[in-house]
Amino acid sequence: MSYVIKVGFVLFVLSFSCHIMAVTVDDVKLANELKTKYPKFDVALNSVNKKVEFLFDESQKQVCVLETSELEYIALNSNAQYNCITTYDSFCEIEKVKVYNEKKSGLQITPLYSSYHLNGIFYSDEKYCAVKLQFSQKGEKLRVVFQKKVFDLKYYFKTNFQNDLPCVKSDVKYIIPQWLSLNFIPFYLDTFNIKMTSSTDKNGSQVITFSGNDLANWPDNANSGGPSFYIPHVLIVPISSSKITKEPLITSTDGLFNWYNKLNKELEPDMGIINAQVNEIIKPCKSDDEKINAIFNWVHDNIRYLAYEQGILGFKSDEAHNVLTKKYGDCKGMANLLVVMLNSAGFDARMSWLGTNYLCYDYSIPSLCVDNHCITTLYYNGKIVFLDATEKYLPRENIAERIQGRQIMVKDGDNYKIEVIPVQLPNKNLCAQNASYQLEGTNLKGTVKYSFAGEARSSLFNHLASLKVDDHKNEFEDIFRNSDNNISISDLKHGELYKLETPFELSATTSVANKVTSFENELYITFDWQQLLKSSIIKNDRTTDLHLDMKSVDKKTVSFKIPVNYKVTHIPDSIAIDEPEYLILGKLKQTGNNIQYQFELTFKSTIITHDRFEQWNNTIKKLTEFYNDQIILVLK
C-alpha cells in the first residue's frame, strides 16, 4: 500500500473510531422503534426529568424558582446532530449547563449563548443557550442538564409538556414549600394522557408531578394559532405565600391589574410636547368626531410600530412624549400615546390590556401570560370605541379580527373593567370582483374591477406601503394576473391610495390567453382561473385546528358574451355549500347571449376545528370538480 493510501486510510479510520461509544442492543432496538414511529427525526428524547423548586430570596424578598432539567437524548441514526436549546431572558439566568455520556462522564462542550430573533419583533431580550450534540452511533445517548433560575415567580407562569422532539417519558416535578400555595391550571393534559400526582416529601413540601409517556413532538402546522391552542401545558398561578414579599404575588385579576396600573402610573408624560402636537392636529377639526379621527389617523400615519421587549419594558409602556418624538413605539407605547393625546384633547380614553386571538386564555386567569397586546378604549357619546393604534389603515369603525370577541381589561382610575370587544360580520372585509369578457380570437378580453374593504383593504395597503413606490404598478397588475403570464393588463386605474373612507377600487382591461380551447367546432372555456381555495386539502397528519386570518367575503360576478355564431351545449352545475364556518356559492347561468358566473366565498368563522377537516376536504374536492368543469360552446 502506498504512503498516500496508508495516510488516507488512517485518517478515514480515525474519523470514525474516535466516537465509538458503548451502545447496547436495547438502545439500538429502542432507536429503531422510535425511527419507525418518527421517521423524520434523527434524535429523540428518551427522558425528560424536570425538577422545579420554589425558594425565597431573602435579599430580594422575592419568590424565585430553580428549574433543573435533565434531558436524555437518543440518536435514531448514525452521525446524528442536534442543537439542544433552552431559552432565558432578563428575568432569569442559566446557572449550569452540563453534558454527560452514557458512562456519566461530563463532556467538554461549550454552550453557545445568543440572542433569539423573533419574527416581527425589533428587539427582544429573549436569548438562548445552545449545546450542540454530536452522536456517532444509532442508539447512543447523551444527557444534558440545564439549571435555570427565575428571579421572580411572576415570570414563571407556564410549563409545556411537549418538545420539538418526540419524547419517550416525561416527568415534571414541582416541589412547593409549606409557606407557598400554588394553583396549576391544566390545558390538554387528558388529550395527551399526562397524569398529575401529589405527595409530600420529607421536608413537608408538597410535590406535584406531571408524568407523560410517548409524547409526540410539537406540531409544525402553519396557521394553527398560538401554541396555547394545542400544546399540553399547565399555568402556574400563586394562591398565597406566608413569606412577606417585596411586591404582592399576583394571585387574582385585581393583582394583575394592580401591577399593570403601578407600572402605568410611573409614567410622566411631558404634556407640553403632547399638547402642542395635539393642538396642531385638531386645529382644523370642527367636531369631536373629526378630532378623534384626526388624532387616531395621525398616530397611524406617523408612529411606526416597533416591537420592543426588554425586561420590565416588555410590560411597561415607553413615555408618550418619547414615542411621539421618536416616531416609533410598540403596542403599549402607541396605545399609551393615543390615550394621552385623546385625554389632552378632552376625551375619556383609557389604557387597556388584552390577549389577542393568538392566545386561548381570558382574564379569569391571573397571569402575565393571558395578555399580549395593548389598545386604547375610548368612552365617547355613551359608546365604547376600541382603538388599536397598531392596526394601520383600519378605520375606527373596523375592528381587527385578532381582537374581536376578546376580553379586554380597561383601566378605570385605580380600578378596571373587563369588557368584551364586539365581533363584526364577515362582510366588513369584502373583496369584490366584477368582470365582463368577450371572445377575441381564442383570447378572452374584458374589463375587470376589484373593490377592497376592511381588513382586505388594510392588508393590501400595508403591503403596498412596504413596497417601493415604483413597484406598485407591478403589484397592482399581479392582482389581476395572479402570477399567470397568460394574462395581459392594460388601462390600469386605481382609487386614492391609503384613503379609508371608501373601498379601494382597482380596474383594468385584461386579455386572457389559453383559457379557451378549440376542438374542431367546439369551444371549451375555463370560467374561473383564479380558483380560490383549489388545492387547499388539509393533510391527514395535521393535528391542530386551522386558524384563518379573518372572517371575509369574496364575491365575483363575471359575464361571458357568447359569440353570435355559437350556442351553449354545456354549462357547469352550480355549487352551494353552507357550513357553520363557511359558505360557498358558485353558479353559471345563460341569460340571452351572456353567461353569468357568480361566485361567493364567505368565511363565517376563523377556525376550522380538527373534527371538521373531513368535511372541509370534501368541500374542496367538490369545489375542485366545479372549477375543473368548463363551458362548452358549439358552432351553430
Partner 1 sequence: MYNAMNQKIITLFLFSVISISFIFADRENDEFKKQFWVTEAFKEVQIPEKFLSSSCVILNRSYDYAIRPMFSLGPNRVEVVTSFHMRIKLLDKAGVDEYTTFSIDGDMEKGVTNRKRGTDLVFAGFKIIKNDGIETEINLDEILVTDEAQKGKAKATLNKISIPNLVVGDVLDYYIVRRNRTMYQYVTFIGDANTVFLEGEYPIVEQSLTISSKRYCYLSCRSMNGAPDIKPLSKKQEGVYRLVDYNRDASKDEKWVNHYLESPFVRFQGIFSIKPYANYPTGFYRRFLTSTEDLRTAISMEELTRYAKDISTWKKQLISYPIPNIKLVKTATAKEKVDRILMECKRQSLSMFSENYFYSPDKRQSWNQDEMAVILSKVLIKHKIKSSLIFTTNRNFLKLDDLFMKEDIAVLVKIECDGQVFYISDLDALTNYAEIDPRYSGNKGYELDLYPKSKQNVLRSVTILQVKPEENKLISSLKVELGIDSLKSKIEYNKKMIGAGKLAEQYSLIGRNDFYKEFSTNFAKLISIESSSLKSSIKEKKTIQISDLEKGFSEDRSEFIKKNLKEEFNITNDLNFENFKINNSGIYPINAIFEYSLSFSTEQFIRKVGSNYILDAGKLLGTQVSFSDTEKNNRTHNIYFTYPRTFENIIEILIPNGYRVKGIEAFNVNQQTEVGRFTSTAKIDGNSVVISTIKTYNQTYSPKEQFNQYISFVDCAFNLSQKYLLFEKIK
> Among residue numbers 447 through 466, which ones bind partner 1 (CB under 8 A)?
465-466
Task: Look up residue 519 and give its three cell numbers.
Answer: 376542438
Binding mask 268-307 vs partner 1 (x if CB under 8 A, - otherwise)? ----------------------------------x-x-x-
Integer angstrom CA distances of residue 357 from 234, 325, 412, 573: 19, 31, 24, 38
Strand bridging mode 373-380 / 348-354: antiparallel
What is the DSSP code (8-state) at residue 612? G
Site for partner 1 in 131-170 (CB under 8 A): 136-138
* Selection from 365, 102, 123 nearest residue 250 by Cα: 365
- Choose the binding region for partner 1 from 123-131, 160-168, 278-286, 419-427 (rule: CB under 8 A): 123-131
> Does the footprint of partner 1 cover residue 542 (CB under 8 A)?
no
> Does the footprint of partner 1 cover residue 13 (CB under 8 A)?
yes
The distance of closest approach from Cβ of residue 616 to partner 1 in the complex, given in angstroms and rounded to an integer, is 15
Site size for partner 1, by CB under 8 A? 73
When the beta carbons of 86 and 357 are compared against partner 1, the nearer one is: 86
The distance of closest approach from Cβ of residue 78 to partner 1 in the complex, given in angstroms and rounded to an integer, is 4
Residue 459 one-letter amino acid? S
Selected from 17, 36, 59, 565, the binder of partner 1 by CB under 8 A is 17
* Selection from 73, 70, 72 nearest residue 97 by Cα: 70
For helices 288-302 and 331-344, the axis angle rounded to 10 degrees is: 150
When the beta carbons of 199 and 474 are compared against partner 1, the nearer one is: 474
* Selection from 398, 400, 418, 401 nearest residue 409 by Cα: 418
Site for partner 1 in 497-526 (CB under 8 A): 513-514, 517, 519-520, 524
Selected from 318, 371, 388, 629, the binder of partner 1 by CB under 8 A is 629
Binding mask 185-224 vs partner 1 (x if CB under 8 A, - otherwise)? ----------------------------------------
> Does the footprint of partner 1 cover residue 342 (CB under 8 A)?
no
- Choose the binding region for partner 1 from 73-81, 162-170, 186-194, 378-386 (rule: CB under 8 A): 73-81
Tell me if 513 sits within 8 A of 443, measured CB to CB.
yes
Tell me if 264 sits within 8 A of 381, measured CB to CB.
no
Residue 613 one-letter amino acid? F
Site for partner 1 in 548-607 (CB under 8 A): 569-570
Q: State whether residue 30 is helix, strand or coil.
A: helix
The distance of closest approach from Cβ of residue 14 to partner 1 in the complex, given in angstroms and rounded to an integer, is 9
The distance of closest approach from Cβ of residue 436 to partner 1 in the complex, given in angstroms and rounded to an integer, is 21
Cell 386645529 identifies what position? 283
Selected from 486, 502, 574, 609, the binder of partner 1 by CB under 8 A is 486
Q: State whether residue 281 is helix, strand or coil.
A: helix
Binding mask 377-416 vs partner 1 (x if CB under 8 A, - otherwise)? ----------------------------------------
* Selection from 190, 231, 237, 263 nearest residue 364 by Cα: 237
Kindly report the CA angle at 527 between 524 and 528, in degrees rounded to 5? 140
Selected from 47, 49, 78, 252, the binder of partner 1 by CB under 8 A is 78
Residues in CB range of 170: below 8 A, 6 or more apart? 45, 47, 48, 50, 161, 194, 210, 211, 212, 213, 215
Q: State whether residue 27 is helix, strand or coil.
A: helix
Selected from 197, 240, 242, 474, the binder of partner 1 by CB under 8 A is 474
* Selection from 379, 365, 378, 350 nearest residue 407 by Cα: 365
- Choose the binding region for partner 1 from 141-149, 176-184, 288-296, 628-636 (rule: CB under 8 A): 628-636
The distance of closest approach from Cβ of residue 482 to partner 1 in the complex, given in angstroms and rounded to an integer, is 12
Paired strand residues for 251 = none
Q: Assign residue 505 a region: left if phi > 0, alpha if psi is -120 to 50, beta otherwise?
A: beta
The distance of closest approach from Cβ of residue 406 to partner 1 in the complex, given in angstroms and rounded to an integer, is 28
Selected from 36, 59, 381, 485, the binder of partner 1 by CB under 8 A is 485
Q: E strands of 38-108, at which residues?
A: 43-57, 62-75, 81-88, 92-100
- Choose the binding region for partner 1 from 242-250, 264-272, 289-297, 321-329 (rule: CB under 8 A): 321-329
The distance of closest approach from Cβ of residue 552 to partner 1 in the complex, given in angstroms and rounded to an integer, is 22
Kindly report the CA angle at 433 between 427 and 438, in degrees rounded to 5? 155
Cell 389577542 identifies what position? 356
The distance of closest approach from Cβ of residue 88 to partner 1 in the complex, given in angstroms and rounded to an integer, is 8
Selected from 276, 467, 576, 635, the binder of partner 1 by CB under 8 A is 467
